[in-house]
Amino acid sequence: MAPFFIKLCSMSLTAAYVIIAVMVLRIFLKKAPKIFSYALWGVAAFRLWCPVSFESLFSLLPSADPLPEKILYEAAPRLNTGVPVIDAGVALPAPQAAASANPMQVLAEAGAWIWLAGLLALLFFSALSVYRLHHRLKDADKLFDDVYLAPYIETPFVLGFFRPRIYLPQGLDEKQREYVLRHERTHIRRGDIFIKPLAFLLLCVHWFNPLVWAAFILMSKDMELSCDERVLKELGPGVKADYSALLLSFSAPRARIAAGPLAFGENGAKTRIKNALHYKKPAFWVLLAAFLALAAAAALLLGNPKAPQEEAPLPQAFLQQICDGAKYTDGELMLEIPDAMPQGYTARQLSVHVSGTAPMGEGVMAVHAFEGLSEGFGFEPGSIYRERLAESGEGQGIELEIDAALVEEDGTVLYSASAQLTEKEPPAEMGIPVENVTIAQGETAFHPDGVTGEGAHVFVKLVMTQGRYITEEDGIALGGGIGPKNYVGKCRLEIWTKNWEGKEGKPLYLYNVAGDGSEEMTFCTDSDALPHLLEFEDYNGDGNPEFTLGQWAGSSADAYTLFSIDETGAPRQISGAYEIFASNGKSSAFEYSALFEKTEGGFQTMIYDNALGEFVSQEYQWDAVLERFVTAESV
């Protein structure tokens, strides 16, 4: 029952956003006919009742799934309300390695049984009250058609679904009887005899949500107010005083929260009398504004916010990301599993082993990490794992190797990757300091808007603003994308105009490649010749040039970030940082701006599959809604 209860709570939280929005909108509809306020509650009912909805770019909801089912199994469960303050402020219990049960699963299962007990209790007492009422009405006398005169009742009401009956108390004169019958028959014509029991059923299902109780009370009030207005419209303005006096005489002593019946005097006599006395035919502009507000609320609250499409990583790139992302620093090993598994694979197929040697006297000893997780396929996507292998400052002699693989049930290895880990001196202390070195550059025939005269082309530079020049002579254990001559440091993109004669014009934009400029990039060369070449292509057909910046990602692929230059000459990142894996640049070990094969609506990359021993293609297509390239499989 735990997954069902989590889904129910998620729906209730989503509906809470809508209920609050409806409450606010009712304030602005105060002067409008109450039928519009009454209709608004249908949007909240849809959210409480229906577990799925369509996606909309115009949705005002911060999240469509505030409590995702995966929190029952995550190593670090967290809310997804769409409100960062709430997500960060609510700490959910995380599973412990020594515990026999996941605390989130225990809490959800206990909550499910408490919810079921509350639901059954509300349904039982509601059914009991209806049964008692039917028992009291067994002596009612039929006056005509569907109208009955019942002793021992204090206020008129309508009861029943398919054969609704109107029950009147004794002592009504002819005029009062006409008012009551018009009111109750309005309820019947509009289907209120079905709507209120269904609303009460939703209240029973979501009884743990206080906003649902408030919504039921306000919906019932709007139902009665709109019904009063309908009667006054039919009878004319001359009956307002008599109708208000009748409401006062049958006013219920306290609010009722029940499925039925629809009683004439319930739901706030003071508000209803005040509304009746001030009722007048609304102006056309009031009706139009109220209708537009209702339509806008439905459009903005019925749909789910459009979820960003996450493309599944390629198996080989996924494993290489695990290996390359592992860090061994100050005696502590840190291992991060990417958020998404490759398409068609599960965490139960992910095998990650870390082993190595450590100095011990005159010999060495074996070192292993995460043994329990490795043997039990216990690594979960999106989780970070840490293990201390040595005391601070004593781990430099330990040599580790990490092996990651996707395996079948019989143990057959489908894909694999590996990496070496040793604790080294901080690279910031190595090499010769450098500043403002142009690493790569290129130009394209593109004329930004608002740039005149000398702006016939744009000239793009990748400049290392602060870094180090490192060579093999520095005595560094090189590898992993570092070659004989290397530049390592912080970089930025510079966009310049260039005139027809090829002379540089004026700078348009300066853009830190890593966002805040804190992340270092590495570029190696086989000579002192710089810069590398930036190449351009319009992959999405919008008339703006795109180019790639790459970094070493493994023995079989580089990782590229795709940039575009917009109409003003500003650079814009249109892919995740280094999320496009390709072997395109492998024809040259030092190529950092690959030109991909252009296809209809996108481009195609090639990546070497170590398991197959051959190149495979991956197609990317432009998603105009997300304004980014996604893999063809996710379109």
Backbone angles phi, psi at 335, to 5 degrees: -130, 125
pLDDT at 449: 61
Name the residue among 615, 618, 611 with its Cα closest to residue 415.
Answer: 611
Q: What is the rounded distance in angstroms from the CA atom of residue 292 to the CA atom of residue 28?
A: 12
Under a CB-based contact definition with an 8 Å cutoff, are residues 163 and 181 in contact?
no
Q: Which residues pair with 510 in a beta bridge?
A: 494
Name the residue among 64, 77, 81, 86 with its Cα closest to residue 105.
Answer: 77
Q: Which residues pair with 403 in a beta bridge?
A: 353, 418
DSSP 340: S
3-class SS of residue 96: coil
602-609 and 614-623 as β-strands: parallel, antiparallel, unpaired? antiparallel
Name the residue among 483, 487, 549, 553 with its Cα closest to residue 520.
Answer: 487
- Find the Cα–Cα–Cα–Cα dihedral 78, 79, 80, 84, rounded to 10°: -90
pLDDT at 24: 94
pLDDT at 202: 94
Residue whose entry in the numeric block shows the structure tokens 């670090």: 76
Q: Which residues of the chain have pLDDT under 70?
A: 73-76, 94-102, 252-260, 265-267, 307-312, 392-396, 424-430, 447-456, 475-482, 499-506, 514-518, 526-528, 555, 584-591, 610-611, 633-635
The C-alpha R_g of the chain, in whole angstroms, comes to: 35
Q: What is the rounded distance in angstroms from the CA atom of residue 211 to the CA atom of residue 590?
A: 61
pLDDT at 615: 82
Q: Residues with Cβ < 8 Å from 512, sequence gap 6 or more?
A: 490, 491, 492, 493
Name the residue among 247, 191, 192, 185 with its Cα closest to residue 219.
Answer: 192
| Six-digit token string for 393 | 């400052």
Q: What Å distances lie between residue 606 and 125, 430, 582, 617, CA to CA?
A: 67, 35, 5, 5
Mind listing the pLDDT tens digit for each residue in 456-512? 678 899 998 888 888 877 755 455 566 778 888 888 888 887 765 555 666 777 777
Helix (H) or strand (E) holding 10: helix 2-28
Q: What is the rounded distance in angstroms from the CA atom of residue 579 to the CA atom of residue 596?
A: 14
Name the residue among 130, 183, 190, 131 with its Cα closest to residue 156.
Answer: 183
| Six-digit token string for 368 | 């292993």
Q: What is the pTM of this model?
A: 0.52
Under a CB-based contact definition with an 8 Å cutoff, are residues 213 and 256 in contact?
no
